[in-house]
Amino acid sequence: MKRVITLLAVAITLPLAAQQKPVYLDESRPIEERVEDALSRMTLEEKIGVIHAQSKFSSAGVPRLGIPELWTDDGPHGVRPEVYWDQWRQAGWTNDSCVAFPALTCLAATWNPDIALLYGQCLGEEARFRGKDVILGPGVNICRTPLCGRNFEYLGEDPYLASRMVVPYIQGVQQNGVAACVKHFALNNTEINRHTGNAVVDDRTLYEIYLPAFKAAVTEAHVWSLMGSYNLYKGQHCSHNARLLNDILKGEWGFDGVVVSDWGATHNTDEAITNGLDIEFDSWVGKPKGAPGKTYDYYYMAAPYLQRIKSGKVGTKELDDKVRRVLRLMFRTCMNTKAGFGSMCSEAHYAASRRIGEEGIVLLKNDDGLLPIDPAKTKRVLVVGENAIKMMTVGGGSSSLKVQREVLPLDGIRNRLAGLAEVTFVRGYVGDPSGEADGVTTGQNLKDDRSAAELRAEAVEAARQADCVIFVGGLNKSRGQDCEDADRIRLGLSYGQDSLIVALAEANPKLVVVNVSGSPVAMPWVDRVPAIVQTWYNGSEAGNSLAAVLMGDVNPSGKLPFTFPARIEDVGAHALGDYHAKGSRDTIDIRYNEGIFVGYRWADRQKKTKPLFPFGYGLSYTTFEYGRPTIDRKTLTADGQVTVSVSVKNTGEREGQEIVQLYVSDKKASVERPVKELKGFKKVALAPGEEKTITFTIGRDALCFFDATKHEWVAEPGRFEALIAASAADIKGKVAFDLE
């Protein structure tokens, strides 16, 4: 009888067992249950296996349990081509050419969170389609110095703008079951000495300027991963930094995702174990000669960690926390069957890339309405400059891409004026004719052995014959320009561009200068040139975005995400702070003596100097008129809100978008505060003659400063002003109110 019952029991449970998935594979179960179930099934070696790289961009799964590998890839504005298992070099696949979206300074310059959402959605689709679980972006490091080689990858100088733009970007990416990886946490504000710089910064500056965008990514966008930076803070490398990762990120902000190191940013097993690092990538550890196993076994969090556990030197508490986070990330991404399959190189992605570029281009000057160019009146257009023909999607460091196509400025202008005007091109100058990064070549031959004098003579002569001249220059993605792992050595342009621009202006007054850059540059010729357009590294549709603005199909609506200083001495980091122009192999302190006075916060305090172009500045082909701002109450209670309203009217002949900015000024504070700080912005579209009322509702949060002694945000009672502005230097009106 007993046997019968046993047989019966087996007969029943077998199919059940076959039907019933283990909890960790059952997507109907709460994620935390799945995490615990998977963790309980993993061996010690399997746990160690998932917390360090197994190849350049991947970490191991648990084959025995059917838990897949985790695949990451660069970067913030497009999905990098496949590389060899252990190398940076592209592997030469033929199905991994992507759409390049504009680099993030362009996104910031749109001041449009809806565009940031679109951007993230499209990038997430490309990453999902390519089988990437983590896209290594966005970068949100604050532009502390215009010379930083990676400003082009970030969202500008203001923590509020960067915060508002990074949240929807991350949400868009993660809708696709792809983790964004906000980087580089934290204080990675120069590229020179990025491995040895020890940021010395007071808490108030840290919390008010350098953390907010990361905090918004974590607490508002719920970013699933974050990358520790190369540099040091308080003498500890940021990829295993107790203060940043344990106290602030996981403690104060409750981050439940995965901290990955930057590639090669791990230096110490004990710190990696205890200071919050969850997955170690690309450590520069060699394998002892003749030793068994692969290099990856010798990573700081591989054999050395296993050894410490087996010898009883450390427990498994930290290990289990790391593994829980990795499993959680996997259930959100590679083991998430609900997030679709993405898409790649679709017309929708090209359209999005173009739209982001069109909305981010900034019109800086337009005397005598030289722009937009009217093909009916302008029959002979001359385009001058290497940046009109040089691909910018290749180079710049880890964000370099292999694109399916890149429409260059000259192509875009030619496409747009086909059949309407004659477009000729002369080089004007030779900058960097090279075009290769990690095995990706542009295929361009930009070699030109003519002398600078010959090139200039040709350009000046051609300018004399043209109805209008478009100079396309600026920076590029070469080392020492807008490029990772190095900074620029000057604020000004290279390759003799400044004097060439002056020569062109003398040859033909109808000159438009298009500056292609991801950082502020000096413009000594600013008074000699009637029209200036700031365009960015706008990716696959760069030329079409630019042409649409130059010819007026699109009314430019971008505004600067960072100040263009007139001189490098006008920048806090250079006037007061430490900025080391020389590389150092040893740890070197970088003292942020300028404190919170970064960008316009610094410029507003200067009596004798003013920026070349201020933060938040940008013109339009139409004009806008602001009414007088009003406020709904004169007193703000501690938990109350005030609403500031202002009417904005399009007083020109064509539709346009205006970015209305709200700054707050604390008129009586016990501490030194900036003259004003950005606490709101809205981009409003207006038809000719149309008027709209914009409202901003702010509360106590907008009035606070960070009190480092109390370690909390403090709003002191007293008088405040809300300023309505078209830029940091163009205040349209203000209203006062008192905080109770």
Choice between 183 and 322, CB closer to ligand GLC:
183
Which lies closer to ligand GLC via its Cβ, residue 41 or residue 56? Answer: 56
To the nearest whole angstrom, how small is the minimum distance from the Cβ of residue 115 to ligand GLC?
23
Task: Name which of 262 and 658 has its Cβ closer to ligand GLC.
Answer: 262
C-beta atoms surrounding 129 within 10 Å: 19
Residues numbered 297 to 336 that lie near ligand GLC (CB under 6 A) are none
> DSSP assignment of 656-712, as one string?
EEEEEEEEEEESS-SS---S-EEEEEEEEEE-TT-EEEEEEEEEGGGG-EEETTTTE
Our finding on whether 154 is near ligand GLC (CB under 6 A) is no
Minimum CB separation of residue 658 from ligand GLC in Å reads 34
Contact criterion met (CB below 8 Å) for 116 and 368: no
- Least separation, in Å, of the C-beta of 356 and ligand GLC? 21
Q: From the list 46, 96, 126, 262, which residue makes contact with ligand GLC (rule: CB under 6 A)?
A: 262
The residue with tokens 């070549």 is 441
Give the residue with the Cβ less far from ligand GLC, 231 or 620: 231
Site for ligand GLC in 269-288 (CB under 6 A): none
Tally the C-alpha atoms within 13 A of residue 29's C-alpha that lie toward its C-beta. Answer: 17
In this complex, which beta carbon is closest to ligand GLC, that of residue 77 or of residue 355? 77
Nearest CA among 396, 405, 430, 411 for reference residue 152: 396
Of the CA atoms within 13 Å of residue 486, those in its CB half-sphere come to 13
Length of the chain: 740
- CB 619, min distance to ligand GLC, A: 33
Q: Does 263 bind ligand GLC (CB under 6 A)?
A: yes
Q: Indicate whether 74 belongs to the interface with ligand GLC (CB under 6 A).
A: yes
Q: Rule CB under 6 A: say whether 136 interacts with ligand GLC.
A: yes
Cα(299)–Cα(362) distance, integer angstroms: 46
Closest separation in Å from C-beta 281 to ligand GLC: 7
Question: Closest distance between ligand GLC and the C-beta of residue 181, in Å?
Answer: 8
Nearer to ligand GLC, 35 or 104 (CB): 104
- Residue 666 in tokens: 């604390």
User: Contacting ligand GLC (CB under 6 A), which of 141, 163, 393, 398?
Assistant: 398
What six digits make up the tokens of 84?
A: 């060899």
Active-site hit among 73, 158, 262, 482: 262
> 513 in helix, strand or coil?
strand
Question: Considering the complex, what minimum distance in angstroms separates the CB of residue 484 from ligand GLC?
Answer: 6
Nearer to ligand GLC, 75 or 197 (CB): 75
Rule CB under 6 A: is residue 676 a binding residue for ligand GLC?
A: no
Going by the DSSP 8-state scheme, the letter that residue 65 receives in this structure is G
- Neighbouring CB atoms inside 10 A of 576's CB total 15
Dist CA 401 CA 101 (whole Å): 10
* Cβ proximity of 440 and 391 under 8 Å: no
Q: How far is the CB of 56 from ligand GLC (least distance, A)?
A: 8
- What is d(CA 599, CA 615) in angstroms, rounded to the nearest whole number? 8
> Considering only residues 47, 132, 183, 349, which one is a binding residue for ligand GLC as defined by CB under 6 A?
183
- Backbone phi and psi for residue 564, each to the nearest 5 degrees, phi listed first: -95, 100
Q: Does 133 bind ligand GLC (CB under 6 A)?
A: no
Binding mask 192-231 toward ligand GLC (x if CB under 6 A, else -) reads: ----------------------------------------
What b/e string do you get for 99-124 counting C-beta neighbours within 10 Å, with b at 16 or more?
bbbbbbbbbbbbbbbebbbbbbbbbb
Decide if 247 is catalytic: no
CA nearest neighbour of 481 among 567, 543, 395, 552: 395
The whole-angstrom separation of Cα 150 and Cα 481 is: 9
When asked if residue 46 is in the footprint of ligand GLC (CB under 6 A), the reply is no
Which residue number, 223 or 383, has a Cβ lying nearer to ligand GLC? 223
Nearest CB to ligand GLC, comparing residues 107 and 648: 107
Total of chain residues touching ligand GLC, rule CB under 6 A: 7
User: What type of residue sits at position 385?
Assistant: G
Q: Among residues 262 and 482, whose Cβ is nearest to ligand GLC?
A: 262
Token representation of residue 140: 């949100």
* Rounded distance between C-alpha atoms, residue 547 and residue 414, angstroms: 9
One-letter identity of residue 196: T
Residue 209: DSSP 8-state? I
Site map 549..588 versus ligand GLC, x via CB under 6 A: ----------------------------------------
Backbone phi, psi, residue 643, to 5°: -120, 125
Q: Residue 551 Cβ, how far from ligand GLC at the closest point, in Å? A: 36
Pairing state of beta strands 656-666 and 630-631?
Answer: unpaired
Distances (CA, A) of 403 to 12, 99, 196, 476: 56, 6, 33, 17
Nearest Cα neighbor of 705 from 166, 205, 143, 157 is: 205
Q: Tell the smallest beta-carbon distance from residue 183 to ligand GLC (Å).
A: 6
241 versus 557: smaller Cβ distance to ligand GLC: 241
CB contact at 8 A, 474 and 521:
yes
What is the per-residue binding string for ligand GLC in 446-465, x denoting contact by CB under 6 A?
--------------------
Helix/strand/coil percentages in the chain, nearest 5: 30, 20, 45
What are the residues whose beta carbons fall under 8 Å from the beta carbon of 208, sequence distance 6 or more? 159, 596, 705, 706
Cβ neighbours for 418, distance < 8 A, ≥ 6 positions apart: none
Tell me how far, at minimum, the Cβ of 398 lies from ligand GLC, in Å. Answer: 3
- Closest CB to ligand GLC among 75 and 360? 75
Min dist CB 161 to ligand GLC, Å, is 21
What does the binding site for ligand GLC look like in residue numbers (CB under 6 A)?
Answer: 74-75, 136, 183, 262-263, 398
Catalytic residue ranges:
262
